[in-house]
Chains A and B, each alone.
Chain A
């Protein structure tokens, strides 16, 4: 096990030894750190510290757990002008997987008697699980890959105002659809506007607690408000893009003389042909993901209108990615530098006054969306000044139990009955799969949020409780 020591109230650090170029830093409470120590997540923090050009530290957010290559919750920034690398494994197979939160003019008490009608409409409207089936036609694909969510708006999905509340306005800079493989495009063609499976979901929630009234008001959240949270990404197109580039980077690493402790950390200099090709393909895949969540949000609004028999205002609160590498400017060692910031299961969290925020969010900071598990709370946080990890925060509760173990605890049917007994309506893509995603398989999201605040990563704004779950 790696040599980590507690160096702050919510910080654990491993010094740079051996081939590590920077220390490892994990933001965690005693309990969360103990959990991370039980598998190989901490070793993965150390492995990431070996990446060429990495600066400051190899960071892990409070929801850290064992992934493949990077830990889930890993954040690593490399100096682009000093040979810093980009690693497809630091983004993951689900490129630009993220979370979208939609508010509404509905109160949860008002919706409760009509919830079943809305859930039925969502069940019909949201394609999920394996196979084909999508809200949008494949004709839209080329435009989406080039510009992202705005192509979906132009095609009649959602409104231009929505784009103001998307990270990067729902469009990743530098997208180059021409470098996507034919197979990646083929996999994405029938999936634009689909949820996927695994831990992806669409949840009807309500605001049960507000702890920062000013930020909540700026975000458009009020007590009792019905919200919808959507968690999904770039589907097969992103999976194939990552697969393609991890494969091609094997020989490319040899050409660049790069060695990494785990083949899944394959990486090449950002400023190399292979690096530029990956970033162009990654951005095009991210554009698919921004548009995918946008189109699903439009389908959600229509399902609510049909289920309730009248139009309901459902403005976008925010849309944020948690699997992405971005070229950003940050101060390191007293000097502003151009960095490639990898966030693998970590959310961007810009503090008040950040130049990238729209005017109405600038005074309070960027919304940070942290979904819990089915049956527990989710949280909205806000970015804070002087974030110690390149403006990053947690992205979820984080798993604590393997899927195999979770299945042994209860059957999918039992999990569904337990949720329904808590007044949470469930529409699973497959009842069998519910047990893999059961609440007991995840860490305590409240603890993750407490550590985010204690570590200066983000501050809590509002808590959301689930009313209905549409699972992939």
Chain B
């Protein structure tokens, strides 16, 4: 399981475009979207960014505070660009979650390279985890961004719920 990122950015500063960044101590934060749900995830590496984006997507739907994530599933995704790869990684996780009946809370990226990602996700049976928000239908390409910043990365993702 990944820990909180500690990046030289202040979460609200990202949205305001400020340059006097502070320190991030969160894996992600939600941002307003009228109909759907959007978040900004952080990571000190691209691998950690992908792990934290995955965590964000499931944490928006489920209360993961008590989740152990002991049932692990191997995950792979492909994509021509980091942005395509991120959306495909998230959508692979959603499909795996639904078909296996698992609420994922633990994520690991073993290999991230041009064109592909290999990793794993650990989850608990969906019925055992309380719902916290509307179920996610898909991760979208709308307003999608991955940005490198001093000491790490941030990514913005809009989810269809």
Query: What string of 1s and 0s marks CB contacts (under 8 Å) between B108-136 and chain A?
Result: 00000000000000000011001111110
**Which residues on the A side are within 8 Å of B135 (C-beta)?**
129-130, 196-198
Closest to B160 in A: A93
- Does A430 lie within 8 Å of B131, measured CB to CB? yes
Measured between beta carbons, the chain B residues less than 8 angstroms from A423 are: none
The reply to whether the CB of A359 lies closer than 8 angstroms to some CB of chain B is no
A125 CB to closest chain B CB, in angstroms? 19
Contact A264 B140 (CB under 8 A): yes
In the complex, A252 has a CB within 8 A of chain B: no
Query: Are B34 and A262 in contact, CB atoms less than 8 angstroms apart?
Result: no
Residue A403 contacts which of B84, B134, B137, B158 (CB distance < 8 angstroms)? B134
Is A399 touching B140 in the complex (CB atoms < 8 A)? no
B-chain residues with CB within 8 Å of residue A39 when the two chains form the complex: 33-34
CB pair B37 A403 closer than 8 Å: yes
Contact in complex: A197, B134 (CB < 8 Å): yes
Please pick, from A199, A251, A436, the residue contacting B133 in the complex, using a CB distance under 8 A: A436
* B98→A187 contact, CB < 8 A: yes
Q: Write out the residue numbers on chain B whose beta carbons fall within 8 Å of the beta carbon of A198.
A: 134-135, 137, 161
What residues of A have a CB within 8 angstroms of the CB of B35 in the complex?
65-67, 72, 399
A 234-251 binary contact with B (CB < 8 Å = 1; else 0): 001001101100110011
Out of B33, B37, B84, B95, name the residue touching A66 (CB < 8 Å). B33
Q: How far is the CA of A129 from the CA of B83 in the complex (A)?
A: 29
* Structural contact, A68 and B99, CB atoms closer than 8 A: no
Interface size class for chain B? Answer: 35 or more
Cβ-based interface call for A131 (8 A) = yes
Nearest Cβ distance between residue A429 and chain B, in whole angstroms? 8
CB 8 Å contact bits of A189-213 with B (1 = contact, 0 = none): 0000000111100000000000000
Q: Mark B83-103, 1 if CB is under 8 A from A, else 0.
A: 110001001001100110100
In the complex, what distance in Å separates the CA atom of A320 from the CA atom of B127?
32
- Whether the pair A401, B34 counts as a contact (CB closer than 8 A) is yes
* Interface status of A404 (Cβ within 8 A of chain B): yes
**CB-contacts of A388-441 with B (<8 A):** 399-405, 429-430, 432-433, 436
Tell me which of B30, B61, B91, B130 contacts A404 (CB under 8 A). B30
Alpha-carbon separation in the docked complex, A239 to B98 (Å):
11
The SS class assigned to the A binding surface is mixed
CB pair A433–B133 under 8 Å, yes or no, is yes
CA–CA, A357 to B143, complex, Å?
40
| Docked CA distance A240–B95 (Å) | 7
Measured between C-beta atoms, what is the minimum distance from B92 to chain A in Å?
9
Q: In the complex, what distance in Å separates the CA atom of A68 from the CA atom of B143?
A: 8
Contact A187 B138 (CB under 8 A): no
> How many residues in A have their beta carbons less than 8 Å from beta carbons of B?
48
Interface membership of B66, Cβ < 8 A: no
**Once bound together, how far apart are the Cα atoms of A266 and B130, in whole Å?**
35
Q: Find out whether the CB atom of B142 lies under 8 angstroms from the CB atom of A69.
A: yes
Is residue B73 contacting chain A, with contact meaning CB distance below 8 A? no
The smallest C-beta distance from B98 to any residue of chain A, in angstroms, reads 5
Q: How far is the CA of A197 from the CA of B161 in the complex (A)?
A: 8
CA distance A409 to B95 in the complex (A): 32
- In the bound assembly, the distance between CA atoms of A187 and B98 in angstroms comes to 7
Least CB distance from A220 to B in Å reads: 32
Say yes or no: A69 contacts B131, CB within 8 Å.
no
- A21-40 interface with B by 8 A CB criterion: 39
Residue B32, interface by CB 8 Å: yes
Say whether B141 contacts A264, CB under 8 Å: yes
Is B138 in contact with A93, judged by CB distance below 8 angstroms? yes
Contact status B32-A242, CB under 8 Å: no
Q: Does B148 make an interface contact (CB < 8 A)?
A: no
Asked whether A138 is an interface residue with its Cβ less than 8 Å from the other chain, the reply is: no
Most buried by A among B30, B34, B160: B34
Tell me which residues across on chain A come within 8 A of B138, comparing CB atoms. 93, 239, 242-243
B20 proximal to A (CB < 8 A): no
A404 to B33, CA, bound (A): 9
Nearest-Cβ distance from residue A149 to partner chain B, whole angstroms: 22
Pick the contact of A246: B30, B130, B137, B141 (CB < 8 A).
Answer: B141
Interface residue A132 (Cβ < 8 Å from any Cβ of B): yes
Judging by beta carbons under 8 Å apart, are A403 and B99 in contact?
no
Q: Which residues of A contact B160 (CB under 8 A)?
A: 68, 92-94
Please state if A263 and B144 are interface contacts (CB–CB under 8 Å).
yes
Of B32, B36, B88, B95, which one neighbours A68 at CB under 8 angstroms?
A: B36
- Nearest chain B CB to A87 CB, angstrom units: 12
Q: What 1/0 mask marks residues of chain B from 13 to 28 whose CB sits below 8 Å from any chain A CB?
A: 0000000000000000
Given the complex, which residues of B lie within 8 Å of A263, measured CB to CB? 83, 141-142, 144
Closest to B38 in A: A402
Contact B137 A94 (CB under 8 A): yes
The minimal Cβ–Cβ distance linking B76 to chain A, given in whole angstroms, is 13
Please give the distance in Å from B147's CB to the nearest CB on chain A: 16
Partner of B142, one of A262, A399, A402: A262
A67-B35, A131-B126, A198-B135 known; A183 vs B142 contact (CB < 8 Å): no
- A199 to chain B: closest residue by CB: B134
Cβ distance A435 to chain B, nearest Cβ, rounded Å: 10
Report B152 CB to chain A, min CB distance, Å: 24
The answer to whether A67 touches B131, judged by C-beta atoms less than 8 angstroms apart, is no
Q: Which residues of B contact A433 (CB under 8 A)?
A: 131, 133-134
Q: Which B residues fall within an 8 A CB radius of A?
A: 30, 32-37, 61, 80, 83-84, 88, 91, 94-95, 98-99, 101, 126-127, 130-135, 137-138, 140-144, 158, 160-161
Nearest 6 A/B pairs, CB to CB: A68-B142, A263-B141, A68-B140, A197-B135, A198-B134, A430-B131
Q: List 17 A-B contacts (CB under 8 A).
A: A65-B35, A68-B143, A68-B160, A72-B35, A93-B137, A93-B160, A129-B131, A130-B135, A196-B135, A197-B134, A197-B135, A242-B138, A247-B88, A399-B34, A401-B34, A402-B32, A433-B131
